[in-house]
């Protein structure tokens, strides 16, 4: 998968791709991430990417021209499956959305700033708009990172144990069951006996029950879906 991210603050995006799972996915050749500084696509001396709103009002708007230049340049080099705009009024990111995007080959992610982008960008270039939740960030960059993390870990081969993404919370609309590791008894706090019984059908049944109970208690809305 190739991910091209368009931003006015590339510095905010660098280091998360240089650590942990996202770094390893790149080293394994499973993912390519390219950061594009929108200011490199401006033509004026000030490298201006935003301007005042038509009709008046507080806050600057990201201009269409540099965004057009950047997206058009990228599209001339390869086909893209999706051009995503990070925005608080987009569809809320969910495991279902992450699963869908993880199947794509090439995607562009545009990070909004200021009041957002000129509506014509959304009308003519964007194929999907994603929000990471009902709160407003100062830019789309942190949302883009969350989207990338959620998507990259689903790409086959990225996680060491192939099955571990399949047993995450939200796959199958259930939260994950409780998990334990050694020691089996810590200060008298014991691991449920079934987990050390070696009876794997029984363990599987216990996990399913616990996942259901936890979902019923914490997120009954998931069971209604």
137 annotated ligand-binding residue: yes
136 annotated ligand-binding residue: yes
Query: Residue with CB nearest ligand ADE?
Result: 143
Q: State in angstroms the smallest separation of the CB of 147 from ligand ADE.
A: 8
Q: State in angstroms the smallest separation of the CB of 23 from ligand ADE.
A: 23
116 annotated ligand-binding residue: no
121 annotated ligand-binding residue: no
Q: Are strands 185-186 and 189-190 parallel, antiparallel or unpaired?
A: antiparallel
Candidates 62-70, 125-133, 152-160, 185-193: pick the segment binding ligand ADE (CB under 6 A). Answer: 125-133
Phi, psi of 193 (to 5 degrees): -55, -35
46 binds ligand ADE (CB under 6 A): no
According to CB under 6 A, which residues from 73 to 92 bind ligand ADE? Answer: 86-88
- Residues facing 86 on adjacent strands: 111, 130
Q: State in angstroms the smallest separation of the CB of 115 from ligand ADE.
A: 10
- Residues facing 52 on adjacent strands: 60
Q: State in angstroms the smallest separation of the CB of 176 from ligand ADE.
A: 24
Q: Which residue has the tokens 């998968």?
A: 1
Per-residue contact flags (x/-) with ligand ADE for residues 130 to 169, judged by CB under 6 A: -xxx-xxx--x--x--------------------------
Q: State in angstroms the smallest separation of the CB of 131 from ligand ADE.
A: 4
- CB-hemisphere CA count at 13 Å for 73? 13
**Alpha-carbon span 116 to 87, nearest angstrom:** 8
Q: How many residues sit close enough to ligand ADE to count as binding (CB under 6 A)?
A: 12
9 binds ligand ADE (CB under 6 A): no
User: What are the residues binding ligand ADE (CB under 6 A)?
Assistant: 86-88, 112, 131-133, 135-137, 140, 143
User: Residues marked as binding for S-adenosyl-L-methionine?
Assistant: 112, 132-137
């Amino acid at each position: 998968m190739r991910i091209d991210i368009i931003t006015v603050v590339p510095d905010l995006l660098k280091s998360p791709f240089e650590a942990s799972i996202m770094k390893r996915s790149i080293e394994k050749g499973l993912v390519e991430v390219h950061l594009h500084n929108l200011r490199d696509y401006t033509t004026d001396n000030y490298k201006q990417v935003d301007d005042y709103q038509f009709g008046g009002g507080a806050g600057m708007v990201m201009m269409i021209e540099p965004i057009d230049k950047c997206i058009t340049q990228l599209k001339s080099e390869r086909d893209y499956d999706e051009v995503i705009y990070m925005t608080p009024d987009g569809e809320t990111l969910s495991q279902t959305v992450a699963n869908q995007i993880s199947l794509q080959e090439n995607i562009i992610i545009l990070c909004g700033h200021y009041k957002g982008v000129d509506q014509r960008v959304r009308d003519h270039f964007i194929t999907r708009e994603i929000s990471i939740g009902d709160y407003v960030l100062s830019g789309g960059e942190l949302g883009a990172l969350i989207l990338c993390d959620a998507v990259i870990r689903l790409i086959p081969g990225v996680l060491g144990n192939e099955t571990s993404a399949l047993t995450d919370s939200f796959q199958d609309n259930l939260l994950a069951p409780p998990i334990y590791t050694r020691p089996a008894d810590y200060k008298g706090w014991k691991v449920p006996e079934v987990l050390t019984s070696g009876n794997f059908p029984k363990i599987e049944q216990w996990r399913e029950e616990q996942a259901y109970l936890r979902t019923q208690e914490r997120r009954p809305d998931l069971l209604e879906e």
